[in-house]
Amino acid sequence: MLENAYKKQLADSASRRKPKEAYLDIIDLKEIVEASDNWLFFEPTFNVALPGEKKGSKKYHTAWIAKFSEIRNIAAHKNSLRTYTDEDLEFVDWLRSEVAPRVEQELKAL
């Protein structure tokens, strides 16, 4: 994960180069959040059960990160064959209502 970010960083021109964390993929976030040393810090913000998923049925309720990554890839790698479904748009609305406020609250606390 960090090695891939480093390679992407090096591939960027020196004038545009950002810190390594700017080159992480969204799916890398899931791995970082779920790391045992990190979970206590991230759990209040990122432990969000998907609609229909029973809260507490498993340790990590982070499947939404992978789903968000898939939906984001549609826009990032756009072509006429890859379009959003109504389910995708409903999921984005769910993210806005359930996850975004948690992230905003955490950012204010920093």
Q: What are the residue boundaries of the structural domains of the chain, listed by start?
A: 2-109
Torsion over CA of 30, 31, 36 and 37, rounded to 10 degrees?
-90
- The answer, yes or no, to whether residue 77 has pLDDT greater than 90, is no
Average pLDDT over residues 42-71: 92
CA distance 107 to 99: 13
CA distance 64 to 27: 10
Mean pLDDT lowest for which of 17-21, 50-54, 78-82? 78-82
Q: Is 48 helix (H, G, I), strand (E, B) or coil?
A: coil
Residues 62, 33: contact at Cβ < 8 Å? yes
Residues 71, 13: contact at Cβ < 8 Å? no
Question: What is residue 76's DSSP assignment?
Answer: H
pTM, 2 dp? 0.82
State which H helix or E strand residue 88 sits in: helix 86-98
Q: What pLDDT sits at residue 66?
A: 96
Average pLDDT over residues 20-41: 94
